[in-house]
Structure formats: C-alpha cells, structure tokens
Amino acid sequence: MTTSSALLTLALPAHEGRLLAAHLDRLASWDPTGHVRIVARAGAIGVYAAPPMRVISFVALPLRDPVTEEVDVSARTAQVRQGLEATAGATELCLPEPAVGSPGLAMLPPAEGWQLPIHGVSGDVVPGVDEAIAEFRRRSTSVVDPQALAEQIWGRPSFGGLPLRVLHAARRLGFLTDDASRVTACTMTGWKRLTTVRGQVFVRTSTPTQRPDLSVVR
C-alpha cells in the first residue's frame, strides 16, 4: 500500500537523521528545484534522486520505528529538508504534500539480478574523477558548446565500465571520497550501478522492469 498523507511523520535515529539532512542539503545545492522520491518499507527509508547527470542516486537508512504500510512519496527536495526536525535522541521527518516528481524517478532501479561485480578502493578512483572535473572547468571556458563537452567527458568509460558521469555524481554527493572504503561496479540488463558505503548511483542503459528493494548500504 502506498501512503501519501501530508501528515505522515517518520522517525530516524539521531545520527541517521543528520546523514539524511546532509544528503538533502547536497542535493538541493546541486539542483535547487529538484525532487526526491521517498520510499519506506518495514524498518528502512530510501531516498531516490535524479541529479542533472542522467543518473539516479540512492541512500537507504534505518528507521527508528518501522512502518506498517509502504510509503512512496515524491516531493521537492527543499520541502523534504524543511520537514526534518531533530528531537530528543531522534530525527522526525514530516513528509510534505506529494508533488509531481521527476520523470527520471518514475521507474526505479532493481534490487536483484546484478552481475559481474568489480571491486575497488574509493581513494584509487577519486583522482581520475577530480582530473575530469578540472578538465571540464578548464575547457568549458573556451568552447562554443559546453553541453557537447560535458557529454564528451562524462560519457567516457571509467571504473568498472561505468560512464564517468556516475562517478562524478557520486563524488559531488559525497559518496565517493578519498579514503580506503570499498566501491563496487555491477551491471545487469538495462542498468549499471556504483555502490559505495555511503550510497549508490545508477545509470540506465535501457528501460528497467524489476521492483527495487530497500537494503541499507553500510
């Protein structure tokens, strides 16, 4: 069952609430008019977003109090952020009125069927991403068509066969950091995925058909 009540409040542990607030702040800073899709089932809340890189980002966090009915609400990122309030030992999220969400979030990534995992270390991947960001900034000042330049750079294959746009989005959202944490690239029909300890980034290669899950990334 999908719940869309504007009065619905979800409770997260205090630490996870701070993580969610920081994530929403990054999303809103990148795309002030962007939307998120909040999905909650059982003891987890998932936050999907469609950053302006033709990717889908995903963060899953545990709830303090499990929900008895499925929640699936799309809303403006800024409004969801405003609905977060720290309380004694917890963070409460009062969901806003649902809004027409991003078309990029109409179909969510699948949870199962992923194959060919390629493992790496975040700190080994970061330098290549930072170099590409610096290249784009340098070259975009003198090109006629910055969008074509963006397609050229962010479409390049990178770690695990992922297009560089996936790693760039992960870097900008704070998923990909200069440390020794593990990252994994996977693929399946229609999708590619980067998994980090802080979140995931997906990119479509065709239309997905399977239902997503809410596995908390640790």
Q: Is residue 209 part of a domain?
A: no
CA-CA distance, 206 to 218, in Å (whole number)? 28
The least confident of 123-132, 143-152, 167-176 is: 143-152
The last residue of one of the domains, among 63, 79, 105, is: 105
Q: Sign of dihedral through CA atoms 125, 126, 129, 134?
A: negative
Inter-residue contact 165 to 55 (CB < 8 Å): yes
The CA distances from residue 93 to 102, 130, 186, in Å, are 21, 34, 32
15 and 91 part of one domain: yes
- Domain, as residue range, for 148: 115-204
Residue 43 placed within a domain: yes
pTM over cut 0.95: no
**Assigned domain for 119 exists:** yes
Q: Is the dihedral of CA 175, 122, 156, 134 positive or negative?
A: positive
- Structural domain includes residue 31: yes
Q: Is residue 216 part of a domain?
A: no
In a domain, 218, yes or no: no
From the centroid of its chain, how far is CA 6? 23
Residue 17 sits in the same domain as residue 101: yes
**Reported confidence tier of residue 197, pLDDT bands at 50, 70, 90:** very high
Confidence at residue 215, expressed as pLDDT on a 0 to 100 scale: 52
- 87 and 125 together in one domain: no
Residue 210 burial (CB < 10 Å; 0-12/13-18/19+)?
A: middle
Taking Cα atoms as reference points, which of 55, 36, 54 lies closest to residue 45? 36
How many distinct structural domains can be found in the chain? 2
Q: Tens digit of pLDDT for each residue in 41-57?
A: 999 999 999 999 999 99
